[in-house]
Amino acid sequence: MTVIIDGKKVAEDIRRQVREEAARLKESQSIVPGLAVVLVGEDPASQAYVRMKGKGCEEVGIRSLQHRLGAQTTQGELLSLIGELNRNGEVHGILVQLPLPAHIDEKSVINAIDPAKDVDGFHPVNVGKMVIGEEDGMLPCTPLGCQELIARYASPLGGKHLVIVGRSNIVGKPLANMMVQKQPRANCVVTVCHTAAADIGYFTRQADILVVAAGRPGTVSASMVKEGAVIIDVGSNRVPHPDDPSRSRFVGDVDFEGVSRVATAITPVPGGVGPMTIAMLLKNTMKACGLQTAVSR
């Protein structure tokens, strides 16, 4: 029988661990972890994400400091704010909500964040630490959430063939670098395939663990999956509802109904990878706080 991976439950386990760790830190050292979230503009989806992150912080005992800037904010003004947050000892994590308005250079903003406070794991210093396997860097939240689900539902991992569909800087490439490391929660043989492949199915049918982050519904069908594989579907696509075209629903990149008949375990959409991203953001903030307070003592 196929296991439906409950990302909500795993995320709650992570949140509980963060909540307990934050309470211990406050009691023993009177330190409250602080996460600054910067939102530029009024994109509705970004506003919703920022609200969820603030609520998540509140639930686990992390101080949420939200900075909402107008869409006409200049790059210089944004960089000045980031500089202030870098110097603020009560801020342990900084997250600039993406995407940014077109007149602001995203790379310059990411590079301006103190790597020790880069809880998104996007700064080049943290990317470098990820590639060489240093454990004191920040790892990006969605790949970290994928790794957590893989470790729980596909262990032991050593030598298993992990195939990733998608090569983005947000999911595909970071996850490949994380899962190839010689570590207990990794140590996989990793293949990354993408749209340049003449036949993606040639690769996906070899996978013991298949992660699909293509950003396109129906990318992987049952005929493209090896029987018994573990499937992590990162996709989140809004499509018309089959019963009422005036409504919509969210689906992943995998044909859930077909693939679930051949997989050992599979993430649903919604309720799979999605809840893990904010949980891992909270965990990263706790990690950043621990590293910074250890250095300051």
Provide the token pair at 2.
């196929």
Give me the sign of the Cα torsion angle 11, 17, 19, 22: negative
CA 213, CA 167: separation in Å to the nearest integer? 8
Instruction: For residue 261, give the nearest of 225, 211, 217 by alpha carbon.
Output: 225
Active-site annotation, residues: 53, 97, 120
Are 5 and 153 spatial neighbours (Cβ–Cβ below 8 Å)?
yes
What does DSSP assign to residue 220? Answer: B
Are 173 and 192 spatial neighbours (Cβ–Cβ below 8 Å)?
yes
DSSP string spanning 29-57?
Answer: H----EEEEEEES--HHHHHHHHHHHHHH
Tell me the backbone φ, ψ of residue 233, rounded to 5 degrees: -100, 110
Measured in whole angstroms, the distance separating CA 226 from the mean position of its chain's CA atoms is 26
